[in-house]
Amino acid sequence: MTSGTGGAAVRTATSAEGGAPAQQHRARRQEDPVTTTAGESTSTTGTARPGWRDRLADPGTWAELAAPVGLVVLVVLFQVLDPTFLTLGNVEAMLAAAAILVVLATGQTFTVATGGIDLAVASTMTFSAVMFGVVFGAGAPVAACIAVALVSGLLFGLVQGLIIGYGRITDFIVTIGGLSIASGLALVVSDGQPQTVISGFMLRLSTGGVGVIGYPVLVALVVAALAHVLLFHTRFGTHVLAAGGSPEAATATGISTRRVKTAVYTLSGTCAGIAGVLLVARIGAAEPAANTQFLLNAVASVVLGGVALMGGRANIAGPLFGALLLTALTNGLTLLGVSQFFQPVAVGSVVVLAAFLSRYQR
């Protein structure tokens, strides 16, 4: 059951940008006269959907699939160069290494979807981790430590969100400030000292799992799944995309962009809190490290995932694949013994390539 007008109009509309006069003209000639029945008009020119060949030829498709395709290419390449790449142990290690990044990138996706960015996301994670450590060092049970970490991240994100949403200050500036404040708070609260965390639960969290899928990976997948539902299956998610795609249209239809902005930074902070817990589990300590690499990789994952930095277009699977891609890249280069000076070049090149591809997004 098709709706609307004839198939030719669909094909011309989907295989080219906008409405060039010649194509519009063709569409008008070929379409059926408009009817007033419930949208069931038949096409005079054959199938309505663009063929898969058209899709492959369209650079827009590649742009959207950059991350998954890149990941596959990378996996094949590395496996050929070093067969230990796809061994169970290595895959398990890669997934575990990617979990924290996936959680950060997921939170970041929401802020970027509204046309903003959370530059404090890694520092918020550090702050949450340190708060875990402080409470742990005071002898509290692990559950309380986890709760404190999550709440710390949430509150920090909330404060940033309120300043950005209601204070109307640019997110870039607020989160740059937030980055310093969170790092500084982490240093102050921890007195600059790492806090060793020895806990059976945390150890199981970090080393246990289901087969090749470690618990941290499961946590990351659950976070991503929830985020996907939130973004694509709730009113809030649609409002996030609207607020990012056209704040003016959103306001005109009565959406409070302020509330949306506050909410997405709170989400990002909460994800940072979750990531903080995973980080403490992974290294067995809560320390006020800068974690700058995580920030860069989180933003890179989001870009690789086809999320527009201008806002309005987002998805969760893309950044997830982006995070996997970056982790696999580092892992493969290490396995191959590539010089430490060359690794950053490789990683940066991949990110730039992804950004270049994103220009072709439809």
Distance between CA 297 and CA 299 in Å, rounded? 5
For other proteins, the binding residues in 174-193 under the rule CB under 8 A are 187-188, 191-193
- 197, 76 Cβ separation under 8 angstroms: no
> Does the protein bind other proteins through residue 334 (CB under 8 A)?
yes
> Does the protein bind other proteins through residue 341 (CB under 8 A)?
yes
- 108, 118 Cβ separation under 8 angstroms: yes
Count how many residues are written for the chain.
362
Out of 67, 97, 121, 277, point to the residue binding other proteins (CB under 8 A). 97
Q: Looking at the DSSP assignment, which residues form a beta bridge with residue 210?
A: 213
Q: Which is nearer to other proteins, 29 or 53 (CB)?
A: 29
Number of residues that bind other proteins (CB under 8 A): 83
Q: Which is nearer to other proteins, 44 or 292 (CB)?
A: 292
For other proteins, the binding residues in 223-282 under the rule CB under 8 A are 229, 232-235, 237-239, 241-242, 245-246, 248-250, 252-255, 279, 282
Distance between CA 299 and CA 44 in Å, rounded? 47
φ/ψ (deg, to 5) at 149:
-60, -45
Out of 147, 177, 284, 360, point to the residue binding other proteins (CB under 8 A). 284
142-165 helix and 257-283 helix, angle to the nearest 10 degrees: 150
Only one residue has tokens 């404060």, namely 159
3-state secondary structure of 68: helix
In the complex, minimum distance from the CB of residue 87 to other proteins, in angstroms, rounded to a whole number: 7
Binding segment toward other proteins, per CB under 8 A, in 13-21, 103-111, 116-124, 154-162: 13-21
In the complex, minimum distance from the CB of residue 168 to other proteins, in angstroms, rounded to a whole number: 19
| CA 189 centroid distance within chain | 29
- C-alpha distances in angstroms, 261 versus 160, 243, 278? 10, 8, 26
Q: Which is nearer to other proteins, 144 or 283 (CB)?
A: 283
Out of 61, 291, 315, 358, point to the residue binding other proteins (CB under 8 A). 291
Q: Which is nearer to other proteins, 39 or 59 (CB)?
A: 39
In the complex, minimum distance from the CB of residue 43 to other proteins, in angstroms, rounded to a whole number: 11
Distance between CA 78 and CA 333 in Å, rounded? 8
Distance between CA 197 and CA 133 in Å, rounded? 7
Q: Which is nearer to other proteins, 13 or 144 (CB)?
A: 13
Binding mask 135-174 for other proteins (x = CB under 8 A): ----------------------------------------
For other proteins, the binding residues in 35-94 under the rule CB under 8 A are 35-39, 82, 84, 87, 89-90, 93
> Does the protein bind other proteins through residue 30 (CB under 8 A)?
no
* Rg value, the chain, Cα: 23
Q: Which is nearer to other proteins, 175 or 327 (CB)?
A: 327
Binding mask 299-328 for other proteins (x = CB under 8 A): ---------x---xx---------------
Q: Which is nearer to other proteins, 62 or 82 (CB)?
A: 82
In the complex, minimum distance from the CB of residue 106 to other proteins, in angstroms, rounded to a whole number: 19
3-state secondary structure of 259: helix
In the complex, minimum distance from the CB of residue 46 to other proteins, in angstroms, rounded to a whole number: 15
φ/ψ (deg, to 5) at 120:
-95, 5
292-304 helix and 66-81 helix, angle to the nearest 10 degrees: 110
Distance between CA 342 and CA 338 in Å, rounded? 7
